[in-house]
Amino acid sequence: MIERLSKRNPFLNFSIKGEYQKLDALFHDTRAFCITNYSTYHQKHISYFDLLNNSFLQWEYRGSDITLEEMMISSHISEDDFSINPSEEKLLYYIQFLINAISFLEQRILNTIYNIRQENFLIGKALIENCYLLLDKLKAEVKKEYSEWYVVYKNDAASAVSVQHPELEARIIDYLKLNNRNNLERKKEILGSLSNDLEKQEKEICDKGFKLLCSDTTFLLNKSGIRHELDPKDKQKAFFLAMDEQERIKWYDRIFEMFLACMAELPYLKYKDEIEQIRKIK
């Protein structure tokens, strides 16, 4: 029996390079807009890339770049990537760029420039749909902070803890941002802040049966350079001091997962005693 089209795997022959090229073709090459010169009634058909380039100096996220091409090259999201096999991380950065670019154009430019009209709405729709399909495929999602969109890695434990402890959500999301994936100092800063929240719950967690998990987490927070500076005179701190940056990031990620595990136990601890009382019923 032929499988229903709605059940078809959208990435039957998945290729990061191929998906990167599809996104770039929709953004860079496909004509989606029409500019009309009302003095001559001459019309020019342009792509999302062209439209963004025309209004680039109005984009608040351009930094010091003065052309879109300059920004894409400096951000390593240019067509030059097609000569190599781009990484998963590079594709995610391109998706993050595209979602912010389209959001800027649709919210700011199309509502203010009277001589530009969107001729092919399917281009933008396909761009966004492809971006979200790829995010799901790569176990990521986007979150909005003020007016900017960020790619964030999905983490079920982080989502659960964010619901249970809304005051932690912003910092948890910040830790999982694509932008912070290899940012040792930012990870250290966030974990240092989260460790203060763990400290407030430490006694309850330890007293009610999860002492080993909690003590191992606080031990690593203290010895890995998060809470206290690394010291070569302390053999355990020296162990972390000898690591290269990527190895220490790996340990920071482990500590983050252990922190989430500690915080995830708190709802259970609230009714653990009641369960014990039920067990005693004979």
Query: Mean pLDDT throughout 100-114?
Result: 80
pLDDT in tens, 139-186: 999 999 988 999 999 999 999 999 999 999 999 999 999 999 999 999
Confirm if 143 and 32 have CB atoms less than 8 A apart.
Answer: no
Closest-CA residue to 130 (of 278, 277, 26, 229): 26
pLDDT at 92: 94
Is pLDDT larger for residue 85 or for residue 141? Answer: 141
Highest mean pLDDT: which range of 4-18, 69-83, 172-186, 215-229: 172-186
* Res 114: pLDDT: 63
CA dihedral 64, 65, 66, 70 (to 10 degrees): 170
Q: Which region, left, alpha or beta, applies to residue 175 given φ > 0 means left and ψ of -120 to 50 means alpha?
A: alpha
CA 69 to chain CA centroid, nearest Å = 24
Task: Write down the residue that tokens 């595990």 correspond to.
Answer: 261
